[in-house]
Structure formats: C-alpha cells, structure tokens
C-alpha cells in the first residue's frame, strides 16, 4: 500500500476518485479482520450517515499488537523518554506491550468496565497512557483522553457529556521543571460527576494524593490481581473507538466520535505513506496523546504498521533547548514529526543547542497543527534536515482522523508553507461565500471536502444534530473544514488559517466563545470579546477586550485575576496574552459584536478598519484605538 513515485501517486489518486470502494477495499486488505465487510462504503452528507466496511468485524489492538507477534515480538513498539534525561528510558517490545495491554484490560474489566462504556483518561506522557488507551480498545470500551493541561471544570464537562464510568489517571506529571498534580485535579473534577464509579491511579511522581475508599484504586495493586490473557473483544467496523473533545466557534467543546474500522485503515495507511515508513525505523512524534495527533500518529497509525514509536514525557526546552536533538541522537530517530510552534521557539536559541549532536539518522521531517511560515520551514529544512530530509507539512483535523493534504515523503515535491496535494481518497474543493465551488488554479476560498474518507468523524457524541450543523450544513453535500485555503497555479494547497471564530494557539484549537464565557465568569466582568492576533512563537495569541467597570486601582492585579479565572474554567492553555479594559465593545445596531474591527486593532492595524458605518457607537472604537496606541 506504499506509494513510491509521483506516477504511482497519480494513479492511486485517480483510482481513489474513479472507484473509491475498490480503492479502499484493497487498502483495507492490508489489515487484519475477523470477518470481512459486505459493503465498503455507504454514505450521505445530509444526515450525515457514513459507514465504512459495513458488516466487518475486528479489534484494532489485534492489528496494533497481536498480528506483529509472530514475526516482530521482540521489536521495540514504544521507546519512552522521560522528562528528566538523567532517568533511564524504557523500551517496550511488541510482546511486552501486548502483555501489559492485556493485563490492564483485565484490570479495567475487574473494575466494572464493559464494551461500550466510556472511560476518561487523564495521564502524563508515560507508556501507561498508551497502555490504557489500547486496553480500552481491547475490551471495546470507548476512551476519552483529556489533555493534562485542562482544568477540573473542563474535565468534569467532558466526563459528564460522555457519562464516563471510569477514570484512569496518575498521581502527577512532570513538565520540565514543574510538577503537575493530576489526581488532585481529578478529585476536584469528580465533585461534579455522578457517573464515575472507579478511579485507577498510576504512581508516577510520588506526589501525596488522597485515595477515596471504594472509588480510588492503585494501578500497581490492581495489575497484581489479574493475568495477562485477555482475548480481544470482537467489534463492528462502525462501533465507537473513541471520543476526543475539540473546541469550535460556539461555547461548548464537541465530542468528536471515531469508529474502529475506518479510523484504523485511515491512520495506518496515511502513517505508512506520508512518512514513507520503512521497517525497523524509529519514529518520533512530539505531540501529546491528549490531542488527535497523538492518537493517530503516536499510537494507532505507527503501531498498526509495526513501527517503533517514541513517547516523550517532557518539553523541548528542558533541561535546555537541545533536548529534541539529544533524543534524536540517543534513540537514532529516523522521522521527526513536530509543530511549527516548537520549531519557532527552538529557532530563537541559535546554534548552541547543536554543538554536541549529529542527528544523522534523520530521514523525514513532519509539521502539523498550524500553518508553517517560510522562515520556520527553511530553518527546519536546513538546521534539522541538513537539506536532506523531505518536510511533510500535514494538514488535517481532529474530525478527519488522519492526514488529508500533505506531501508524501520522497514522492511529492515540497514547497515551503504548502501542504501540497491531497492524499489518495481526499477530494478537496474551494467554495466562495455563496457556496459556489471555485474551479481552476490560482484561487482561494473556504476549504471543503466533497467525498467521505475512512477516517471522517461519524458524529459528535450525544448530539448528532450539532455534527450536521457544524460540518455539513454550511455547504450542501460537503464537509466544511472551517479553514481558508489557497490553490496555487500548479494546484498546490496552502492552508491560510481558520475562517471561523476559532484561534489556533500553538497548534491548539481554542474557541473564542469559550474564552469569553470563562472571562465573563469573573465577578467584575460585564462583557468581553476575544480575538486572535499574530504571535511570533504561538502562531496566534489571544487578545481579550474586557468591560470591567469597577476595577480597583491595581489594574495588573485585575488582569491576573482574570487569567486565574480562565485557568480555572478551561486551563492555562486558554489564558489571554493581552487584556485591554474598555468601556464598551464595538457593536452593530442589532447588538452583534464587530469582531472584524477588534481583530484589526489586535493586529495593530488601526488605520484601515474598513466599513464602520453600521457601528452603534463609533466613540467606543475611538477609545479602543487610543488605548491601543498609548500602550
């Protein structure tokens, strides 16, 4: 199923459009099924209802673990690199990982988990996180991983939305020089969660934690009570595999649902091709498993292909800015998949971090999460790839399950800041505001996808109508991505950023409405409006305009109080970078906030505010401009 030349790509692409069922049916033969499908695809985007590999039975963990045991039992599946470089790394072979997953799957069962139950996972980047994820999949339970940076309230909202029965967590996590108390956050979250019956706690940081009788159990104790034999649950191709929450333009995060068969095929196929993965290679994705990148390209994609996947607990700048490069040398990494924000932050450290590293094992570089600017692209190419490694700028989303538009390493000619061409099976199109498709090259518009692919989301958990509304209603018979896009003269795609009210901060999606709701929770705040602005390292930063009539003399303290409120409500990742106190917000006569104007001001472009004739009170804008200029 690997594509090795541009001619092969063109052939595969043509076939995937002319005969998608035959195309994906053949790709799917590269995976292990308990029972074959009777229909490759049935779909409509109106409801939407999308089914891939209907009637087929499988378990994704048999594809990620069992099927490699005959030939690759002793091959490393996971290499874990701890936060502290002085501490030993850990290698788990496929045989060891299989044993541990089976054992922990039995722990989940022993604690009442059954097929279809939802399990929330809130853990540090340790091998046990991958083990917990795979153990859920083993028994047919649905995992909902919540990133370790979210607050107790965010966790509670997610647990309640999915009515999770179990939580798997750890005492704490390390993040550079900091310790994060995960169990304490879970304890706070669970005050408001009545569906959770058991909490399984891994010992990691040895932080003192409270353990509630009848609810909380230790991972280490539990595994002693079970054996490592756990036959995989037989799953329907369209049974739910996991839920992953993501922010949108409206207040509440959505639980994006992926199913077993299609997701597996898509994650495996795209991993194998985009990175041109060769047997025996070591692959390192620096994302957190709490995001889709970690799900698809640390766990399911690589393991389904028998690859060796590095899990790194720490951050790029601890103990110093050479950490990534040290890891590349230490574990002889061949492919490195990271984010533009990490690249930009490491660029600022100059050449010193490269003094004692060679990085000569690197063969392929990848970028994901946000547009990569040309400067960062060239630095990545020259400093890290030494001009010898293709860069795959991979565009995709939580909802797409896997990479959609990207070069194929060693196949597609790359071009700085372009995600280049759609992968086989992906039919992108650009549409204008009236929903008209824009044909031809040298054009830009809103990016939509015309035809389903196996990894497409099936629903948003508990609210199918919301899924329809968000993705399938803007343009009939198309999946709308929320991104703006340019197709250049040679048909290459460049993603220009979100066109909705979503801010991409360091590759993380943050809904402006969500941040506004959090700020408005502060007792002194009357109203707020949040927009994105260009940020040198993060890509976009968060700018909040806040009406706070009676702030006490210490404005700085009020600012900090607001940041603290946002940290409590969402998590530190959603803290505004800038807060401006204003006496009013620019609104239309019908009361709508004119974000366009605020965006311009946040970008520092006050001279050209466009049409302001519909403003209810122009004096408000004058005040904001004055404040912006005196800063």
Question: For ligand WT7, which is the closer residue by CB, 392 or 585?
Answer: 392
Report how far residue 11's alpha carbon sits from residue 15's, in angstroms, rounded to the nearest whole number.
6
Max CA separation in the chain (angstroms):
74
Shortest distance, position 437 Cβ to ligand WT7, whole Å: 20
Shortest distance, position 293 Cβ to ligand WT7, whole Å: 5
What three-state secondary structure class fits 189? Answer: helix
Report how far residue 341's alpha carbon sits from residue 347's, in angstroms, rounded to the nearest whole number.
10
Judge whether 554 and 533 are in contact, CB under 8 Å. Answer: no
Question: For ligand WT7, which is the closer residue by CB, 292 or 359?
Answer: 292
Report the 3 state secondary structure along 572-624: HHHCCCEEEEECCCCEECCCCECHHHHHHHHCCCCCCCCCCCCECCHHHHHHH
b/e string for 530-555 if b means 16 or more Cβ within 10 A? bbbbebeebbbbbbbbbbbeebeeee
Peptide bond connecting 180 to the previous residue in cis, omega within 30 degrees of 0: no
Judge whether 230 and 139 are in contact, CB under 8 Å. Answer: yes
DSSP letter (8 states) at residue 88 = P
Report how far residue 82's alpha carbon sits from residue 125's, in angstroms, rounded to the nearest whole number.
9
Task: Name the token pair of 276.
Answer: 């041109």
Shortest distance, position 492 Cβ to ligand WT7, whole Å: 13
Shortest distance, position 428 Cβ to ligand WT7, whole Å: 13
Could you count the other beta carbons within 10 Å of the beta carbon of residue 158?
25
Shortest distance, position 3 Cβ to ligand WT7, whole Å: 19
Question: For ligand WT7, which is the closer residue by CB, 172 or 507?
Answer: 507
Question: For ligand WT7, which is the closer residue by CB, 82 or 371?
Answer: 371
Report how far residue 505's alpha carbon sits from residue 566's, in angstroms, rounded to the nearest whole number.
15
Report how far residue 28's alpha carbon sits from residue 36's, in angstroms, rounded to the nearest whole number.
10
Question: For ligand WT7, which is the closer residue by CB, 347 or 606?
Answer: 347
Task: Name the token pair of 393.
Answer: 């700028």
Report how far residue 397's alpha carbon sits from residue 388's, in angstroms, rounded to the nearest whole number.
28
Shortest distance, position 496 Cβ to ligand WT7, whole Å: 8
Report how far residue 366's alpha carbon sits from residue 389's, in angstroms, rounded to the nearest whole number.
10
Judge whether 138 and 113 are in contact, CB under 8 Å. Answer: no
Judge whether 439 and 397 are in contact, CB under 8 Å. Answer: no
Question: For ligand WT7, which is the closer residue by CB, 37 or 147?
Answer: 147
Report how far residue 139's alpha carbon sits from residue 119's, in angstroms, rounded to the nearest whole number.
11
The residue nearest ligand WT7 at its CB is 398
Shortest distance, position 448 Cβ to ligand WT7, whole Å: 12
Question: For ligand WT7, which is the closer residue by CB, 217 or 409?
Answer: 409
Question: For ligand WT7, which is the closer residue by CB, 304 or 398?
Answer: 398
Judge whether 273 and 426 are in contact, CB under 8 Å. Answer: no
Where would I find the H helices in 19-126? 20-28, 60-61, 67-72, 94-110
Question: For ligand WT7, which is the closer residue by CB, 60 or 392?
Answer: 392
Which residue ranges make up the site for ligand WT7 (CB under 6 A)?
246, 292-293, 368-371, 393-398, 419, 481-483, 495, 498, 504, 507, 509
Report how far residue 94's alpha carbon sits from residue 81's, in angstroms, rounded to the nearest whole number.
17
Question: For ligand WT7, which is the closer residue by CB, 354 or 379?
Answer: 379
- Please give the order of strands across the beta sheet that includes 76-81: 90-93, 76-81, 308-312, 282-285, 335-338, 364-368, 391-394
Question: For ligand WT7, which is the closer residue by CB, 322 or 341?
Answer: 341
Shortest distance, position 400 Cβ to ligand WT7, whole Å: 7
Q: What is the dihedral of CA 372, 373, 378, 383, to 10 degrees?
A: -60
Shortest distance, position 273 Cβ to ligand WT7, whole Å: 16
Question: For ligand WT7, which is the closer residue by CB, 509 or 538?
Answer: 509
Angle (nearest 5°) at CA 294 between 408 and 446: 60
Question: For ligand WT7, which is the closer residue by CB, 59 or 540?
Answer: 540
Shortest distance, position 610 Cβ to ligand WT7, whole Å: 24
Shortest distance, position 144 Cβ to ligand WT7, whole Å: 15
Shortest distance, position 161 Cβ to ligand WT7, whole Å: 17
Tell me the β-bridge partners of 444: 486
What three-state secondary structure class fits 48? Answer: coil
Question: For ligand WT7, which is the closer residue by CB, 138 or 509?
Answer: 509
Shortest distance, position 371 Cβ to ligand WT7, whole Å: 4
Shortest distance, position 146 Cβ to ligand WT7, whole Å: 14
């Amino acid at each position: 199923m690997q594509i090795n030349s541009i001619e092969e790509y063109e052939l595969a692409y043509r076939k995937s459009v002319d005969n998608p069922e035959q195309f994906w049916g053949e790709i799917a033969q590269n995976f292990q099924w308990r029972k074959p499908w009777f229909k490759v695809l049935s779909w409509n985007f109106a409801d939407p209802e999308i089914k891939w590999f209907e009637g087929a039975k499988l378990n994704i963990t048999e594809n990620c673990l069992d099927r490699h045991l005959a030939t690759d039992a002793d091959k490393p599946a996971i290499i874990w690199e701890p936060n502290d470089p002085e501490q030993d790394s850990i290698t788990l072979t496929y045989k060891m990982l299989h044993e541990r997953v089976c054992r922990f799957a039995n722990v989940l069962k022993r604690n009442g988990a059954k097929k279809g139950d939802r399990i929330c996972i809130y853990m540090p980047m340790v091998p046990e996180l991958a083990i917990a994820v795979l153990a859920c999949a083993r028994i047919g339970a649905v995992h909902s991983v919540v990133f370790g940076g979210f607050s107790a309230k965010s966790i509670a909202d997610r647990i309640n939305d999915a009515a999770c029965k179990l939580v798997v967590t750890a005492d704490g996590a390390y993040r550079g020089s900091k310790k994060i108390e995960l169990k304490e956050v879970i304890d706070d979250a669970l005050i408001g969660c009545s569906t959770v019956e058991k909490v399984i706690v891994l010992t990691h940081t040895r932080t003192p934690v409270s353990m509630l009788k009848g609810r909380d159990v230790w991972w280490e104790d539990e595994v002693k009570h079970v054996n490592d034999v756990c036959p995989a649950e037989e799953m329907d191709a369209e049974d739910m595999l996991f839920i992953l929450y993501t922010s949108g333009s409206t207040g509440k995060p959505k639980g994006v649902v992926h199913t077993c068969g299609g997701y597996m095929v898509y994650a495996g196929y795209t991993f194998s091709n985009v990175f041109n993965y060769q047997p025996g290679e070591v692959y390192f994705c620096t994302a957190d498993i709490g995001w889709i990148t970690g799900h698809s390209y640390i766990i399911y994609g690589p393991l389904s292909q028998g690859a060796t996947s590095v899990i790194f607990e720490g951050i790029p700048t601890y103990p110093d800015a050479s950490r990534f490069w040290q890891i590349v040398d230490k574990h002889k990494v061949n492919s490195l998949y990271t984010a533009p924000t990490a690249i930009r932050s490491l660029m600022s450290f100059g050449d010193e971090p490269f003094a004692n590293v060679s990085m000569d094992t690197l063969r392929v570089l990848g970028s994901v999460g946000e547009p990569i600017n040309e400067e960062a692209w060239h630095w990545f190419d020259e400093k890290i790839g030494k001009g010898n490694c293709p860069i795959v700028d991979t565009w995709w989303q939580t909802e797409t399950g896997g990479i959609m538009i990207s070069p194929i390493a060693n196949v597609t000619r790359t071009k700085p800041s372009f995600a280049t061409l759609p992968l086989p099976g992906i039919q992108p199109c650009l549409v204008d505001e009236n929903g008209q498709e824009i044909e031809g090259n040298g054009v830009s518009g809103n990016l939509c996808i015309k035809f389903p692919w196996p990894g497409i989301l099936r629903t948003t958990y508990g609210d199918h109508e919301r899924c329809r509304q968000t993705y399938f209603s803007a343009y009939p018979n198309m999946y709308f991505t929320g991104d703006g896009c340019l197709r250049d003269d040679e048909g290459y795609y460049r993603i220009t950023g979100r066109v909705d009210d979503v801010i991409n901060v360091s590759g993380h999606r943050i809904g402006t409405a969500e941040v506004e709701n959090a700020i408005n929770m502060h007792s002194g705040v009357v109203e707020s409006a949040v927009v994105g602005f260009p940020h040198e390292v993060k890509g976009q930063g968060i700018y909040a305009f806040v009406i706070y009539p009676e702030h006490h003399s210490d404005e700085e303290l009020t600012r900090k109080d607001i940041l603290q409120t946002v940290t409590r409500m969402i998590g530190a990742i959603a803290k505004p970078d800038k807060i401006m106190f204003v006496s009013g917000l620019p609104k239309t006569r019908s009361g709508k906030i004119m974000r366009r104007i605020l965006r311009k001001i946040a970008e520092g472009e006050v001279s050209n505010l466009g049409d302001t004739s519909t403003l209810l009170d122009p004096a408000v804008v004058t005040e904001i401009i004055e404040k912006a200029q005196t800063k």
